[in-house]
Structure 1
Amino acid sequence: MRPPFHPDRDQLDLVTILAALSDPTRLGIVATLSEVGEVSCSSFGDAATKTALSYHYAKLREAGVTRTRIDGTQRFISLRRDDLEERFPGLLDSVVTNARRTKLGGAAS
């Protein structure tokens, strides 16, 4: 099995990242990962069907938002926080903060 594609740090593109983050399911995955760190891809099983989750994971990975690590038959997903911060300082924190506020139904302060 070949390893999944991850763009290099210098290939990260703001428009592609924002497009990946525009979906509520993907935004929820990113917000969760920002809290818990690396998790098994099966951790989000209640968020959508397995096929839909695979699609969302691929979109996030190909945009450079997440990294997928394969260990045996399991796949683990984590944020590429350092790469994103280096390329687009403050972007990830801003997106996650906004996602949490929206999820809680609160207004931005």
Structure 2
Amino acid sequence: MSASVDRILAALADPHRRRAVELLGERPRRAGELASALDLPAPALSRHLRLLKASGLVEERHPEFDARVRIYALKDGAMADLKQWVARTETMWTAQLSAFKAHVEKEDR
């Protein structure tokens, strides 16, 4: 699971890719539409989309009416591993902070 989380975090490290994920969270979009919204030239967007696809966050679809058109969408369940990692990490930190608080309060008495 850590390799999956590493790929996702690496993909989300770039602000353009994070914004692309936010936009795709609203609805699937064409590459040109994403490039325009992100104010990026097509080659730059293509590199970002390639990385997002490789990370497993985004998938590319071709509508039946025109196979040349590419529609990008978030992949269902793509962030499940990341969500589990965040939940486990949050649980660990909550326990650590609670133990620290108990220790400090004990010292104050």
User: What root-mean-square deviation, in Å, do the aligned CA atoms of Structure 1 and Structure 2 show?
Assistant: 2.2
Task: Report the secondary structure of 1:78's partner residue.
Answer: strand
| TM-score under structure 2 length normalisation | 0.64
Matched, 1:44 2:49: no
* Alignment size in residue pairs: 80
State which structure, 1 or 2, has the greater radius of gyration over its C-alpha atoms.
Answer: 2
Matched, 1:32 2:27: no
Question: Relative to structure 1, is the Cα distance of residues 15 and 70 closer, same or farther in structure 2, using a 3 angstrom cutoff?
Answer: same
Gaps of 5+ in 1: 1-9, 92-109
Identity among equivalent pairs (%): 25
Q: Which residue of 2 aligns with 1:58?
A: 50
Output the CA distance in 2 between the equivalents of 1:14 and 1:82: 13
| TM-score under structure 1 length normalisation | 0.64
Matched, 1:76 2:76: no
Question: Relative to structure 1, is the Cα distance of residues 90 and 55 closer, same or farther in structure 2, using a 3 angstrom cutoff?
Answer: same
Structure with the bigger RCO (C-alpha within 8 Å, sep 6+) is 1
Gaps of 5+ in 2: 86-109
- Select 2:82's aligned residue among 80, 88, 94: 88
